[in-house]
Amino acid sequence: MKEKNKYQPYKHWTREQLDEILKRTAENLKFDPEVIEFISAIVYSINWNPSLEYDGCSVVQDHYHPSISCFVHDFFWRTGHGGSDSDKLFYKLMLKEGVNKPKAIKRYLGVRLAWFFYYKWKYINYKKRNEPQFNISIPHLLFLFLNLV
């Protein structure tokens, strides 16, 4: 059987390279050190391989390359923690990155609709759910990121 061709723009990047550029972007955008540390933690998470599983912002152009908002959002979805809270975090991170509010709302609605039409069906049928990897909860992360904007 023929293997699907999956777009992998970061397949030749090491975790160190991803970490360096994401940290630099976060520092330039004046993210809190706690948030920068969290981004670094997900780069090195054993639950995914960002070089192969992170494909940038799907459907739309990345605001930054690589995009922090899309990177964090992909991490939560790829590790089974996607949902309303991770989508709200995605929205707040886009605003922090400088995406204008109407565009951020459109992208937020796009990921909500994608969840409804694809992931909701998938999780209802297979009841796939992972245990949380971090001691920090998504609502706590939302609180951190809500205070950034």
Q: What is the DSSP letter of 145?
A: H
**Which band of pLDDT confidence, cut at 50, 70 and 90, is reported for residue 120?**
low
CA dist 5 and 13 (Å) reads: 19
84 against 122, higher pLDDT: 84
Among left, alpha and beta (phi > 0; psi -120 to 50; other), residue 80 is: left
Mean pLDDT of 50-58: 80
**Which band of pLDDT confidence, cut at 50, 70 and 90, is reported for residue 144?**
low
pLDDT at 72: 92
Q: Both tokens of residue 55?
A: 């494909």
Please tell me whether residue 37 adopts helix, strand or coil conformation.
helix
Cis check: omega of the bond before 139, within 30 degrees of 0:
no
**Which band of pLDDT confidence, cut at 50, 70 and 90, is reported for residue 45?**
very high
pLDDT at 29: 92
Alpha carbon 48 to chain centroid, angstroms: 12
**pLDDT at residue 137 greater than cutoff 70:** no
CA end-to-end span of the chain = 48
120 against 54, higher pLDDT: 54
**pLDDT at residue 84 greater than cutoff 90:** no
Question: What's the predicted TM-score (pTM) here?
Answer: 0.73
**pLDDT at residue 21 greater than cutoff 90:** yes
pLDDT at 92: 93
